[in-house]
Structure 1
Amino acid sequence: MPPIADARARVLVLGSLPGVQSLREQRYYAHPRNHFWWVMDQVFAIPVALPYAARVQELQSHGVAVWDVLASGVRQGSLDSAIELASARVNDFPALLDALPRLQRIVFNGALAEALFQRHVVPTLPTDLAALPRLRLPSTSPANASVPADQKLARWRQALEP
């Protein structure tokens, strides 16, 4: 899926690989139990009930870009733990990061996104881009039920607010 990004982006949110429902609908975080859009509603007052295209525009107006570390990979279902890492193909980050002149930090929606970025992307980046601050946040996935929603929200709010 292409990134949600424009030159206003100050924060880049990276997941690992879109889930089955997101791929089917061609919408990031399409699973109704994923907390991502709920968090965006709480942090930026972007109503979850808005049409997807309107939510994307609102998100961009707040300086937030969204993408995934992997462009493709073999996986049964939507769990990160099911990704066959040998099949993983990484997105073109040097091109994206060059197009985001205001970018201040990268945040990861979960541990696997961070690990994949560190292993496969950071070594390919020029020094200035590799030095961008990075922060792992609790996954908004419904599979991450061990972290209560209010705790997820607090961490995400701190990372996303200007």
Structure 2
Amino acid sequence: MRCFAPAVQAGARVLILGSMPGEASLRAGEYYAHPRNAFWMLIDDLLGIERHWPYAQRLAALNAAGVALWDVIAGCRREGSLDAAIVGESVAVNDFAAFFTVHPGIRQIFFNGAAAEHAFRRHLVVRPDWPAAQRLPSTSPAHAALSYAAKRAAWAVLPAALARLSPSP
């Protein structure tokens, strides 16, 4: 299976990285398409991008706010949707050196969960000129250890980062 192309526009300041899209997302051709994934609910609550808008409109609004979406893993073998089912030796990662060269305005990476962070740190040699990175709790319905309120509190760093990284007027 293959990941999606990055959802990014010029002027992006923040990159949110997942590990690899799940089955519902792959079927729909949309980032975070599983109906119980909290991603779009969090984006609605924190950035005011309505979760009920059509996907293309949500994605365009998120990109316009300075947020890019992508995945660490470009391709892998996996049965089902769980990150734990990814066959380790099958993992191929995306070309982040080229991505950051094309998008130099990205100053912050947020990992959507531990699996994305682990894949990034395990399979890539992180360069010192790459953006700072921070793990946030997974928005996946499989990560039920945290309540929505706890996830929302942790993800509140997103609008703060966008404000901090805004271009000077």
Given the two structures, how large is their TM-score scaled by the length of structure 2? 0.90
Unaligned runs of at least 5 residues, structure 2: 164-169
Q: 1:24 aligns with which of 23, 27, 31?
A: 27
Decide which structure has greater strand share: 1
Q: 1:47 aligns with which of 41, 50, 56?
A: 50
Is the alpha carbon distance of 1:73 and 1:160 closer, same or farther for their aligned partners in structure 2, counting shifts above 3 Å? Answer: farther
Amino acid at match of 1:154: A
The ranges of structure 1 where at least 4 consecutive aligned residues each deviate by more than 4 angstroms after the TM superposition are none
Structure 2 residue 87 is matched with structure 1 residue 84: yes
Structure 2 residue 102 is matched with structure 1 residue 103: no
Over the residues paired in the alignment, what is the CA RMSD in angstroms?
1.1
Q: Which residue of 2 aligns with 1:145?
A: 144
- Looking at structure 1, the residues matched to 19 and 154 of structure 2 have their Cα atoms a distance apart, in angstroms, of 19
- Looking at structure 2, the residues matched to 71 and 160 of structure 1 have their Cα atoms a distance apart, in angstroms, of 27
Q: Which residue of 1 aligns with 2:129?
A: 128
Report how many residues are paired.
Answer: 158
Structure 2 residue 12 is matched with structure 1 residue 9: yes
Aligned partners of 2:47 and 2:159 also within 8 Å: no
Q: What displacement does 1:150 show?
A: 0.7
Given the two structures, how large is their TM-score scaled by the length of structure 1? 0.93
Q: What displacement does 1:127 show?
A: 3.1
Aligned partners of 1:11 and 1:160 also within 8 Å: no
Unaligned runs of at least 5 residues, structure 1: none
Aligned partners of 1:29 and 1:36 also within 8 Å: yes
- Looking at structure 1, the residues matched to 76 and 135 of structure 2 have their Cα atoms a distance apart, in angstroms, of 21
